[in-house]
Amino acid sequence: MVLSGYEALFFWIFALAAIFAALLTVMARNAVHSALFLISSLVSVAALFVLSGAEFIAGVQILVYVGGVMVLFLFVIMLVNVGAEEMGREEIFNKQKQVTASLIFCLLLVGGVLYAVSQGYPALQAAQTNKRTPEKMAADQAERDRSLAVGATGTSRITADTELVGGSLYRYASLPFEIASVLLLVAIIGSVMLARTLKQEVSADDVDPETLQEELALDPELAKLEPRVE
């Protein structure tokens, strides 16, 4: 795969945006700022997905991550973050030793990955069966784009990516797809169970009897909530 022309320009813009936003996510003092920087990082990565021809995944990324998961994060920050900003001012990172250790570990990882990519990628190119120049690959890509249907405005083409992904999803991965739906159901029920308050647990008659006695001693009002068997 080779990007050229404006695609290359946009690749570098969005790649740098993704990395800087990710750095700011980790370094921001306020958790809300972290969440907003993470959103911009995710959107930049979605743009990289579009550049590599995965329009469907880019759309899913925006809808699920930015529209769903990050809104959930912001809600939880709102529920939980009492006075966190003031506490965060003294030190946002852990002890000095741990920061040093993690930075050394990260630098080792960077070095290892860069070495592996620089060593492995030429070998991958050498092992390719059909050798094509970057110009030929770009021309092939343009050829494939021309074969797509023209959109209603006549200026753009309709991608076949969604169709391809949908077809393959049901053809090759229908069992994992069903398992994923069960996983999501479990996640929904689990998060509702985890986030219940004590009152809700008592009214659902879901508290250990000994614990219930202790809690009743603290708060007699709870007895009214307890469901009675008539």
Partner 1 sequence: MLNFFIPILAFLFQEQSWLMRAADAAKRPDLSKFLVIGALLFIIGVAGVLTRRNIIVIFMSIELILNAANLNFIAFSRYLQDNGSANAVAGQLFAVFVIVVAAAEAAIGLGIVIALYRNKETIWVDEIDLLKW
| Shortest CB 223 distance to partner 1, Å | 21
Task: Mark residues 102-141: x for contact with partner 1 by CB under 8 A, - for none.
Answer: xx-xx--xx--xx--xx--x--x---xxx---x--x--xx
Question: CB of residue 25 vs partner 1: minimum separation in angstroms?
Answer: 6
78 lies in the binding site for partner 1 (CB under 8 A): no
Secondary structure, 3-state, 130-160: CCCCHHHHHHHHHHHHHCCCECCCCCCECCC
**What are the residues facing 150 on neighbouring strands?**
157
Quote the least distance from Cβ 62 to partner 1, whole Å. 11
Is residue 142 within the footprint of partner 1 (CB under 8 A)? Answer: no
Say how far apart CA 62 and CA 42 lie, in whole Å: 8
Contacting range for partner 1; rule: CB under 8 A; set: 87-95, 151-159, 203-211, 217-225: 87-95
Out of 2, 142, 150, 223, the residue judged to bind partner 1 by CB under 8 A: 2
Residue placing its CB nearer to partner 1 in the complex, 72 or 223: 72
State whether the Cα torsion 46-51-56-57 is positive or negative.
negative
Binding to partner 1 (CB under 8 A): which residues in 147-176? Answer: 161, 164-165, 168-169, 172-173, 176
Selected range binding partner 1 among 51-59, 148-156, 202-210, 211-219, rule: CB under 8 A: 51-59
- H or E stretch covering 173: none
> CA-based angle 73:173:184, to the nearest 5?
30
Task: Identify the residue among 13, 157, 191, 213 touching partner 1 (CB under 8 A).
Answer: 191
Over its C-alpha atoms, the chain yields an Rg (Å, rounded) of 26
**Residues 6 or more apart from 48 whose CB is under 8 A from it?**
11, 14, 15, 18
Helical packing angle, 31-51 and 70-80, nearest 10°: 180
**Binders of partner 1: how many residues, by CB under 8 A?**
91
Q: Does residue 201 contact residue 193 with C-beta atoms inside 8 Å?
A: no
By CB under 8 A, is residue 66 in contact with partner 1?
no
- Amino acid of residue 211: T
Tell me if 17 contacts partner 1 by CB under 8 A: no
Name the minimum Å distance from CB 80 to partner 1.
5
Q: Is residue 204 involved in binding partner 1 (CB under 8 A)?
A: no
CA distance 193 to 229: 23
Interface stretch with partner 1, choices 83-91, 147-155, 204-212, 220-228 (CB under 8 A): 83-91
